[in-house]
Amino acid sequence: MRTRSARRHLIGFGTFLLASLPLLWPQAVAAAGPPHNAEAYPPIHVRGEATSGPTGYSPAQIRHAYGFDQLTGDGAGQVIAIVDAYDDASAAGDLQTFITQYGLAPMDGLTTGTNCKVGGGSGRPCFQKVHAQNGQYRSDSGWGLETSLDIEWAHAIAPAADIVLVEGQTSSFSNLFAAVDQAVTTYHARVVSMSWGANDFSSETDYDFHFNKSGVTFTASSGDSGTGALYPASSPYVLAVGGTSLPLDARGNLTGSETAWSGSGGGISANESEPAYQATFHIPNTGARRGVPDVAYDADPNTGVSVYDSSYNGHAGWFKVGGTSAGSPQWAALLAVADQTRPVPLSSNSLTSSPEYAAASAGNFRDITSGTNGSCGTVCSAAPGYDFVTGLGSPIASQLVPYLANH
């Protein structure tokens, strides 16, 4: 049964979608900017009310479940950019609470007297929070929880990497795309996580240039409403992250099969052409269109992760959080760990090849073969190989990271 807090969140999310529908299918616009007034939303789900202690999965459980605890790499020397909307004034303090709770690697930039600059090579990982636009910013409770999820779990997976949080003034595509550009050009991030999106729209290919950057990998959540493609996850220059349900014991061992989560966004883009890396992988039934997602990660709020936030719906405490929002920053962190020992960083802008698809051919993913995100037959069902719910599958990090680091 959903709690009152969860119902309020979902009702508010539904109201937003209804209000936004006229904006998500814009007329053709100039390539200089995004669709007029179109806004993105964070695909995030909260299970239960705030609690005084963690109730979701811990970093140790997730790291063991996906094999990160078998790696020596920790993301040292890498810059992970987290792009979100509005101002989260408590971001640094919430991240510090998360670090203290789980005994994670300390970061500069979280407390008074520890200011730092990402990419500065100070010896300790640095957290830096910046605004992409000038002017006054307001806070937003839902986006604040999204921000806490993103920065806390990026650090949990790549504890030695620098993290720059680039906040758009609003959730408009215009402001968020500007934040994405700033993350790359100003802060030299080599992985950029975008836990937000909106429905596919007819002119979206005009904005793919934001992600067509050599030496940078962009990750994005595929959505939490089941069948259907979101943008920017549907861009062929972005690694789209779908969702699974991950049953674990207290040590992080699987207690059953990892299955497709019913909310995982996925399907066939109506507007993006199929990239060659999918065509050569023999993605079925796309009609020469882009299939979404590419990969998957734990997203079911019933198997959600622990997040500390001091201002969600007026409450401070620990929240059990799910949604494909959780997968995007953790995949970004995985790629930062892979980049750590590469002479040239990975890129997600190649239409001819994708290291993740090559890695899948080498057996570095947990293939998700059961579960569904709709009632439309094979397009909505997990199956052996690639599927439109979980993509290539979830990472076997102990194998996937070394493969990506060396190919």
Which residue carries 């994405």 as its tokens?
Answer: 180
Inside any domain, residue 122: yes
Inside any domain, residue 237: yes
Inside any domain, residue 253: yes
Q: Is 185 exposed, middle or buried (0-12, 13-18, 19+ CB in 10 A)?
A: exposed
How many residues does this entry show for the chain? 407
C-alpha triplet 252, 256, 258: angle, nearest 5°: 80
Name the residue range of residue 136's domain: 39-406
Q: What is the CATH number of the domain that holds 369?
A: 3.40.50.200
Write out pLDDT tens, residues 166-217.
999 999 999 999 999 999 999 999 999 999 999 988 899 999 999 999 999 9
Inside any domain, residue 1: no
What dihedral angle (degrees, nearest 10) is formed by the CA atoms of 96, 91, 338, 298? 100
Most confident of the following: 47-51, 110-114, 245-249, 362-366? 245-249
Inside any domain, residue 13: no
* Rounded Cα gap, residues 324 and 219, in angstroms: 11
Rounded to 10 deg, the angle between the 4-20 and 141-157 helix axes is: 110
Q: Which residues contact 273 (CB under 8 A, 6 or more apart)?
A: 236, 288, 289, 290
* Rounded Cα gap, residues 289 and 205, in angstroms: 12
pLDDT of residue 34: 54
The number of domains in the chain is: 1
Inside any domain, residue 267: yes
Inside any domain, residue 47: yes
Interval 94-113 mean pLDDT = 93
327 φ, ψ (degrees, to nearest 5):
-80, -35
13 φ, ψ (degrees, to nearest 5):
-65, -40
Instruction: Tell me which H or E stretch contains 374.
Output: none
Beta pairing class for 45-51 and 191-194: unpaired
Inside any domain, residue 8: no
